[in-house]
Amino acid sequence: MSFIAVVDYDMGNLHSVCKGLEKAGTNPKITDSAREIKLADAVLLPGVGSFDPTVQHLRSRGLEDPIKEAIASGKPFLGICMGLQILFDSSEEGKEPGLGIIPGKVRRFRSEPNITIPHMGWNQLELTQPDVLLWQNLPANPWVYFVHSYYVDPVHPKVRAATITHGSQTVTAAIARDNLMAVQFHPEKSSTIGLQMLSNFISQLPSKIAA
């Protein structure tokens, strides 16, 4: 049976993510099973919280290798929020190594007058890879919802799919490389724009699970 796996490691807002996927037209399966992640047609990695506990929870469940294998297999993969950050080598938020799938580091916003940290609320994307599947059928510079104090800083600029500006700082808001897409914002909290993104993600899946 075909399905989309939503990875459960006790650090994701699984309910709202799954509700978003259901509204977009598919029935997700919450799982912490390496076998089910391997069998899934697509994988979604959510996450909220701090960097170190996130990777500790993930590794304690033996999910690091299944996630890496899923990405290497070429199946559609979407990371959300902390599910983006842990794909990188390390974070200024903690000491644990990340998954090292995308070279780079997670950095904290610099304090400056007239900006809030965490960056919380709506902000406008600048799409730097406009042909990415996730952006199809969206208006130019769409507004999406953020809650974060840290942002990813990839070594290779070409993986950046979108940026945002917060105060004087322009930072990466999304990445894309082959079958891998990951975003710092929350599509499931981003109204019709976020719903369209989730619909775009599931559009590449077999029709029998996108119905």
| Active site annotation includes 156 | no
| Active site annotation includes 186 | yes
Task: Phi first, then psi: give them for residue 127, nearest 5 degrees.
Answer: -80, 110
Query: Torsion angle, CA of 126/129/131/135, rounded to 10 degrees?
Result: -40
In whole angstroms, give the CA distance from residue 26 to residue 21: 6
Q: Which of 57, 119, 166, 186 is catalytic?
A: 186
Of all residues in the chain, what percent are helix, strand and coil, respectively (each to 5)?
30, 30, 40
148 strand-pairing partners: 119
Q: Which of 64, 81, 119, 166 is catalytic?
A: 81
| Active site annotation includes 126 | no
Exposure letters 169-184 (e unless 16+ CB within 10 A, then b): eebbbbbbbebbbbbb
Positions marked catalytic: 81, 186, 188
